[in-house]
Amino acid sequence: MVSLPYTSSDLSFTRSLAKVELHAHLNGSVRRSTLASLALAQGLSPDAIIASSQILPGDTRSTSAQFSVFHLAHKCIRGAEVVRRVTREILEDWSEDGVVYAEMRTTPRAHEEVGLSVEGYVQAVLDGFRDHQEGSASSSSSCHARLILSIDRRDGAEVAERTVNLALRHRSQGVIGIDLSGDPTLGQWSNWEPALRRARSEGLKVTIHAGEVPDADEETSQILSFHPDRLGHVCYLSPSNAKKLEETQPKIPLELCLTSNLLVCPQIVPEYSAHHFAKHYAQEHPVALCTDDTAVFGSSLSQEYAIAMQAFGFSREETKRIARDALQASFLDRNDPLWAELERVVGQEMTM
Ligand SMILES: CNc1ncnc2c1ncn2[C@@H]1O[C@H](COP(=O)(O)O)[C@@H](O)[C@H]1O
Ligand SMILES: [Zn+2]
């Protein structure tokens, strides 16, 4: 297990805070016990499951090799019922952790061998959202969820267009945006830009993973010129791109994931206190603390908040503000009745 640097009193405080999760991938957040039992059913040994489902400290693999951890989830999570179940469980776990609103993201994929289409995949995720909402109707807490559909960098222009169409068709059920993610060493920006422009012109929000590897300055510059609604990671930022980011108006909120970046980008984030969250926060650039993949990195949102308290010396009041700042960066329509409710509760301590 990863030993995470926080105190137990900070953790009980951050768990009790009503929080917002803006950057978390479905198949990277599957409950470990469920993934283990699905993997065992596929004949994998428990050791193999751990080795192939997590990125742990000291992992010296290349970024591309690290991305193979997602294969296990993709191999085991097959069919509408399983997708629906794991989605519901993730929301239960987040709710348990004090997350009251989440923008979950996932790459729509067909599971052909079991007759699941991409359309069916998206529907199964949305059904999982509904199951959680209905299941928690009688309890005091639930995690309200919206969906962002991801374009995988492995895929080209055609799949990107299809993903935007899927998002548009499911908008009334809670799909609010499009993401670009996947192995950061693959693909090129020009493949996806037309689809992302169309998404935006149709009123979908756009968030993009940027600067997860060195030597991507040209692409990061193109992404900044596109001016997405949010950016994920931005670990590697050349001085000229840093200037461009600061000068872009309105400012682009950043989704920042401490443990993910420490484990995937150790050259630039060798320890938590060196994470660029501190710099952007000090510059009053809008930031949202997120997890990326709770299962892969073994860290929940309340743990990430507790780590931030320890690493950057945040007081409880500052930490509450961080939760409220995340809400301000959300894609939720300000006219949605949920908005007013979230504005009331996010950043408050809840009785759990
Ligand atoms: C570590 N930082 C990251 N950077 C880029 N992409 C990431 C990621 N973490 C996860 N993903 C993307 O999300 C997929 C798993 O969830 P879904 O199958 O879509 O639900 C991964 O295959 C990858 O494409
Ligand atoms: Zn991500």
- Count up the domains in the chain and report the number: 1
Q: How far is CA 246 from CA 215, 239, 264, in A?
A: 20, 11, 25
Q: Can you read off the two tokens belonging to residue 74?
A: 């993709």
Along the 352 residues of the chain, how does pLDDT read in single tens digits? 445 689 999 999 999 999 999 999 999 999 999 999 999 988 888 778 877 889 988 888 888 889 899 999 999 999 999 999 999 999 999 999 999 999 999 999 999 999 999 999 999 999 999 999 999 876 768 999 999 999 999 999 999 999 999 999 999 999 999 999 999 999 999 999 999 999 999 999 999 999 999 999 999 999 999 999 999 999 999 999 999 999 999 999 999 999 999 999 999 999 999 999 999 999 999 999 999 999 999 999 999 999 999 999 999 999 999 999 999 999 999 999 999 999 999 999 998 6
- The pTM (predicted TM-score) of the whole model is 0.97
Q: What gap in Å lies between CA 105 and CA 16, rounded to an integer?
A: 24
Domain hosting 196: range is 8-345
Q: Is the dihedral of CA 293, 64, 161, 194 positive or negative?
A: positive
Residue of 21, 52, 62, 70 best suited for mutating to test ligand 1, as the one with most atoms within 8 Å of CB: 70
Ligand 1 atom with minimal separation from the 212 CA: 4
CB of 264 within 6 A of ligand 1: the answer is: yes
Tokens 């999982």 identify what position?
Answer: 128
Give a yes or no: residue 197 inside a domain. Answer: yes
Q: What gap in Å lies between CA 221 and CA 215, rounded to an integer?
A: 12
User: What is the residue with the minimal CA distance to atom 3 of ligand 1?
Assistant: 182
User: What is the residue with the minimal CA distance to atom 13 of ligand 1?
Assistant: 25
Q: Whats the size of the chain, residue-wise?
A: 352
Give a yes or no: residue 17 inside a domain. Answer: yes
One-character DSSP codes across 91-148: HHHHHHTTEEEEEEEE----BGGGTB-HHHHHHHHHHHHHHHHHHTTTSS---EEEEE
Q: Which of 19, 104, 35, 42 is nearest to 293 (CA)?
A: 104
Give a yes or no: residue 230 inside a domain. Answer: yes
Check if 119 is active-site: no
Ligand 1 atom with minimal separation from the 70 CA: 22
Q: What gap in Å lies between CA 89 and CA 34, rounded to an integer?
A: 9
Among all ligands shown, which has an atom nearest to the Cα of 27?
1
Give a yes or no: residue 3 inside a domain. Answer: no
CB of 207 within 6 A of ligand 1: the answer is: no
Give a yes or no: residue 350 inside a domain. Answer: no
Tokens 């959680």 identify what position?
Answer: 132
Q: What gap in Å lies between CA 305 and CA 326, rounded to an integer?
A: 12
Give a yes or no: residue 352 inside a domain. Answer: no
Strand partners, 206: 178
Q: What is the CATH number of the domain that holds 43?
A: 3.20.20.140
Instruction: Identify the active-site residue in 21, 89, 103, 212.
Output: 212
Among all ligands shown, which has an atom nearest to the Cα of 185?
1
Give a yes or no: residue 321 inside a domain. Answer: yes
Q: What gap in Å lies between CA 107 and CA 162, rounded to an integer?
A: 11
Ligand 1 atom with minimal separation from the 150 CA: 19
CB of 293 within 6 A of ligand 1: the answer is: yes
Tokens 């050259």 identify what position?
Answer: 267
Q: What gap in Å lies between CA 180 and CA 158, rounded to an integer?
A: 14
User: What is the residue with the minimal CA distance to atom 15 of ligand 1?
Assistant: 27
| ipTM associated with this complex | 0.99
Q: Which of 149, 157, 226 is nearest to 180 (CA)?
A: 149
